[in-house]
Amino acid sequence: MSTIEARLESLGLQLPAPVKLPPGVVLCFPWVRIHGDRAIVSGHGALNADGSIAPLLGKVGKDLTLEQGYNAARLAGLAILASLKAELGDLDRITAWLRAYGMVNTAEGFTNYPQVINGFTDLILELFGPDRGRHARSAVGMAGLPFGLAVEIEAEVAISG
């Protein structure tokens, strides 16, 4: 078993199934685009275990609490890992996390986006450790996200061949 998957298991975490969109929605882009040693990751939201969109929808600070937003960011991280595993075969091929752009569907007046996106960053650091896991990051407030997602995260990682 790969090191990262062993850590996921020891933390009691499971990757969701591949993204399953609502009926009628067709996506014309990949969840991960590989080029050389770069894997560029499309924006992901929180998923249920079966790959359907998790019911963490609406504006953080109004429809959802900070804690629910943190959880949405953590689940978005698991969704990203599921997409990376599907594309790379083995998450141990990730040699470095480079960038994460954390987007929070924000209520007027809420500004604690960093603490929301920590749900993602904490997960990555737990799994990959401080050297491989550390990534440049922004955490910002959006006027809206697809399907009303509370959190969406895009990222880039470096991979081995």
Q: Cβ closer to a second copy: 51 or 114?
A: 114
User: Exposed e or buried b for every residue in 101-120, given b needs 16+ CB within 10 A?
Assistant: bbbbbbeeebebbeebbbbb
The amino acid occupying position 30 is P
Please select the residue that binds a second copy; options are 77, 82, 84, 110, rule is CB under 8 A: 110
Q: Cβ closer to a second copy: 16 or 43?
A: 43
Stretch that binds a second copy, among 5-13, 23-31, 48-56, 63-71 (CB under 8 A): 23-31
Does residue number 71 form part of the binding site for a second copy (CB under 8 A)? no
Does residue number 52 form part of the binding site for a second copy (CB under 8 A)? no
Does residue number 30 form part of the binding site for a second copy (CB under 8 A)? yes
What Å distances lie between residue 4 and 12, 32, 87, 90, 127, CA to CA? Answer: 12, 18, 15, 9, 6
Q: Which residue, among 15, 44, 46, 16, has the nearest Cα to 32 in the 3D structure? A: 44
DSSP state of 90: -
Please select the residue that binds a second copy; options are 10, 22, 35, 55, rule is CB under 8 A: 35
| Binding interface with a second copy (CB under 8 A) | 25, 27-33, 35, 38, 40-43, 96-101, 103-104, 106, 108, 110-114, 118, 121-122, 125, 134-148, 152, 154, 156, 158
